[in-house]
Amino acid sequence: MVNPGRKYDRRTEGRPTTKANDDIRFKAPLYTVTEAARFLGVRPTTFSNWARGYKATFPNRRPVIGQPIVTAIAADRHYPSVPFLGLTEGLVVAAFRSADVSLQHIRKAVSVLEGEIGMRNALASERLFTDGASILYDYAEHDGEEELLTHVVTQQRVFADVVHDYLRRISYGPDGWPVRLVSPVTSRDVVAVDPERSFGQPIFLRGGVRVEDVLDRIRADERPQAVADDMGVSLEDIEAVLSAELRRAA
């Protein structure tokens, strides 16, 4: 994943950018803030802060302003505003936050990658975990920002187990950009999103049925086993999703 022996010169390294086309992964608003938060297993207010930024005020102190860290389209909170790219960025942020990496350190790393070498949307790019690691290490050595590397992308230790468990859920295409995400709300891989399937809505990995279609029938008091048999989804997978829903509601 990370080649600790490889070094990059920030003055000469190439400047990759996000595809400048109409790829559905980058531009189509597929998810509301609430839907994105639900898929990632975080609070809607948390994802909203990641997507829209925040301003916290304190008596006798300057306000604390957090800039957006995931891609979202300015829109009403009740309508889709998060593209697949933004959901991927959210998954990576959730991974680092699960390991107690502060948003300040994540933003700082992203700023280095975007400002120093033009790696746009670094959190969604596969390069974050190859080129990005070496670039941050090189930056830390030259600018005395060792803490930046230590807290975000480590060299020898690579990633903590909890971070790796999140990041393995991202599948990248040949172009180095994500093509599928698996939800981290269940310990097993049960639910995924693919912008080319079901309009990017969550589906069961085994069966390909939209999660919401299954939940709608169970909310209508149909027995889970009957729904499983009828829709070609395993009862075990349905129960895993229902358990996640109960945890979210609690």
pLDDT-derived band at 99 (thresholds 50, 70, 90) equals confident
What is the full DSSP assignment across 71-127?
------TTS--B-HHHHHHHHHHHHHHHTT--HHHHHHHHHHHHHHH--TTGGGSGG
| pLDDT (0 to 100) of residue 86 | 96
Helix axis angle, 84-98 relative to 33-40, nearest 10°? 40
Measured in degrees and rounded to the nearest 5, phi and psi for residue 122 equal -55, -35
Residue 125's Cβ-side half-sphere holds a number of Cα atoms within 13 Å equal to 20
pLDDT tens, position by position, 126-182: 888 777 767 776 776 677 666 665 566 544 444 567 777 888 999 999 999 999 999
Domains of the chain with bracketed CATH? 1-168 (no CATH), 187-250 (1.10.10)
Contact 71, 89 (CB under 8 A): yes
Helix axis angle, 44-52 relative to 84-98, nearest 10°? 110
Contact 79, 154 (CB under 8 A): no
| pLDDT (0 to 100) of residue 7 | 38
pLDDT tens, position by position, 42-65: 999 999 999 988 777 778 777 777
